Amino acid sequence: MPTYIVLLGPPGVGKGTQAKILAETASLPHISSGDLFRENIKNETELGKLAQSYMNKGELVPDDVTIGMIRARLSQPDCVNGALLDGFPRTSVQADALEKLLAEFGGSVNHVPYITAAEPVLVERLGGRWTCRANGHVFHEKHNPPKQAGACDLDGSELYQRDDDKSETVHRRIQVYFGQTAPLIEYYRQRGLLTEINGAQAIEKVTADLLAVIKK
């Protein structure tokens, strides 16, 4: 049977980094809903055009469109043994839809690692990020500071702070995530699939804890 992992975690917890490591170690494709949207829109697929039409009107893309993209991706040969899902589902309604979809592929969600950390830790990580204008290289004022303040080590271009990395925006992003995701966390907890991972630890320790969950 295929193995399907749903990876959860708020902004700034390091989920993207861990997703890549986990997918590679478990030999599963990493399916990011954000990447799927961008690829479908860029390639002007029928689902991409449909999604874009809603986005152009400032409306949320309906669940069935997103599920359609997930179904198409899971149908690819590299997903025969399962996949690591990142960014979907976001609600318990989407989780129900995902279960029905995975049943079509002879499987179901096996593991739901939830990487979490206290809000001050998340705010510090996100609020300290600075990006270079030329090539998007990312620095952090505490964990990865540039050699010269305000300038990229790699190309010398100006470093700036993106709007979504500014303190007031960061607080809002985190609060929105926890508010929207709380029912989903409970959904998977009640089904005995959720395992909380301390995301405030060193990257290597978080990775080790994630791999322990998968092996278990």
- Cis check: omega of the bond before 89, within 30 degrees of 0: yes
Measured in degrees and rounded to the nearest 5, phi and psi for residue 82 equal 125, -165
When computed from its CA atoms, the radius of gyration of the chain, rounded to whole angstroms, is 18
Residues with a known catalytic role:
15, 90, 129, 162, 173
Give the Cα-Cα-Cα angle 79, 85, 86 (nearest 5 degrees): 145
DSSP per residue over 62-95, as a string? PHHHHHHHHHHHHTSGGGTTEEEEES---SHHHH
Q: Are 129 and 140 in contact (CB under 8 A)?
A: yes
